[in-house]
Amino acid sequence: MSEMHLVLDTDIRGPWPQGTEVIYFGMGCFWGAEKKLWNLPGVVSTAVGYMGGSASDPTYPLVCTGSTGHSEIVLVAYNPSKTSIYDLLKCFWENHDPTQGNRQGNDIGTQYRSAVYWTTSEQEKWVTESRNAYNEVLVSKGFDPITSELAPASNFKFWYAEEYHQQYLIKNPNGYDCHAHTGILLPEIAALSS
């Protein structure tokens, strides 16, 4: 079943070009997060869904009860020769508040928690290093420590959200786009050796 991305004109379920990598981000409400991520150079496709919980085939109303343990997540398929994992992580860290636990601003619940689920060992290195660097800066500026859930994507299944959530802010240009953020920039990180 093909579901074409309304901005990138790619199938949100793949297949994508050879060499495409995937990473998953939870930044609170997935509508605004998806828009920020699809606008990055080298992003092949995005989709919103649910990850990190226990229920099979979760629905938005069920996830919003907080009983399933799922987060609202953005799948990002990207070309690593056109965008770096650092640039994706910079967008992630700087466009939400990873110190707020189970909330983002006025959005409260486990589904709004900060999370990164990686699919490669290289991504894992960058996620860990960027978290450590960003945490150090945040704490030095008076913020609480980062509470983001960081784990291999293989620990969880990604469940695609309902069609009306996909590219929501294209379908609803004046729709809700709330993202708390710290106003703190991710520091430069020296290249990691593989």
Any idea where the domains of the chain sit in the sequence? 21-171
Model confidence at 194, pLDDT cuts 50, 70, 90, reads very low
Q: How far apart are the first and last CA of the chain?
A: 37
Average pLDDT, the chain: 94
Helix (H, G, I), strand (E, B) or coil at 33: helix
How many C-beta atoms lie closer than 10 Å to residue 21's C-beta? Answer: 19
Two tokens at 194? Answer: 């593989």
**Can you give the pLDDT at residue 177?**
79
> Is 90 exceeded by the pLDDT of residue 130?
yes
The stretch 126-150 carries a mean pLDDT of 98
Residue ranges of the alpha helices (H) in the chain? Answer: 30-38, 60-63, 85-94, 121-140, 168-171
Question: Is 29 an active-site residue?
Answer: yes
Q: 2 pLDDT band (50/70/90 cuts)? A: low
Q: Which CATH architecture has domain 21-171?
A: 2-Layer Sandwich (3.30)
11-25, 94-108, 151-165: least confidently modelled range? 94-108
Pairing type for strands 71-78 and 43-51 reads antiparallel
The pLDDT assigned to 192 comes to 64
